[in-house]
Amino acid sequence: MVRRTFLVLTTAALLIVANASPSGAQTVVTENGDAGSVPATAQVIPGEVTTITGTLALLDQEDLYRVCLAPGQAFSATTAGSDIADTQLFLFDATGRGVVANDDDATGLQSTLPAGLELSPTSGGIYYLGVSSFDADPLSSAGAIFTGEEIIDDVRYFVPGPPGGDLPVSEWSFFGTYEGGYQVTLTGTTSATSFLMRNTKVPSRPF
Ligand SMILES: [Ca+2]
Ligand SMILES: [Ca+2]
Ligand SMILES: [Ca+2]
């Protein structure tokens, strides 16, 4: 009986592990309450994610998610198909400093950071993805972060610039005027645990 119980538990555990990182499967993460506005309060997504769903409102103008990106530029994110009428997307590095952002993509008021975008990071690891209601923008202690602009394929992307671009996001401007649900569709994320295991050198032990 004890042995059978152990076998059942072991099988269940293996199934849970097998289902934890289904390769190529759709992995939907739902906003847990209200995702925070700065890295310390961001909602942590430890595994691969292909869709994030959440809401933005008058007193909830931006949501930040901590994700792990795979190396290369497979990362993409888009709010296409969201109920909320006008979004913005922001990518920050592990320190909370701005990397790249988009307000309106090629098709309208939703936001897209496409795969292979030359402004996207090539290094994998921890990043923060922010979605906001237009026109709530991230600020550092020195001011606005995304003040630089680059036009690629007729789409305007934002990059960090003065006065606040050298410092991490610490608050947001209070100008988000749209409310509603959003869905962010992503590619190029990975499990933070497996990424760290692959990229952490284990010191060899002397015999
Ligand atoms: Ca929210
Ligand atoms: Ca929020
Ligand atoms: Ca927009």
Look at 91 and 18; give whichever has higher pLDDT: 91
Residue 14 banded pLDDT, cuts 50, 70, 90: very low
Structural domains for the chain: 24-198 (2.60.120.380)
In whole angstroms, give the CA distance from residue 88 to residue 100. 11
> How far, in Å, from the CA of 58 to the mean position of ligand 2?
10
Closest ligand by atom to 110 CA: 3
How far is ligand 3, taken at its centre, from the CA of residue 103, in Å? 4
Res 23: pLDDT: 54
Cα–Cα distances (Å) from 80 to 44, 167, 182, 194, in that order, read 22, 29, 9, 29
What global pTM score does this model have?
0.86
Give mean pLDDT, residues 177-189. 97
DSSP secondary structure letters along 151-164? EETTEEEEE--TTT
Ligand 1 center from residue 34 Cα (angstroms) = 4
Element housing 198 (H / E): helix 192-199
In sequence order, what are the residues at sequence separation of 6 or more whose Cβ sits closer than 8 angstroms to the Cβ of residue 159? 98, 99, 100, 101, 119, 146, 148, 149, 150, 165
Question: Strand, helix or coil at 149?
Answer: strand
Preceding amide of 203 cis, omega within 30? no
**175 C-alpha to ligand 3 centroid (Å):** 13
pLDDT(20) > 50: no
Spatial CA neighbour of 55 closest among 80, 35, 41, 29:
35
The fraction of the chain above a pLDDT of 90, given in percent, is: 79
195-198 long-range Cβ contacts below 8 angstroms, 24+ apart: 195/68, 195/70, 195/124, 195/125
Residue 207 CA to ligand 1 centre (angstroms) = 53
Determine the distance separating the centroid of ligand 2 and the alpha carbon of 201, expressed in angstroms.
36
Q: Is the pLDDT assigned to residue 133 strictly greater than 60?
A: yes
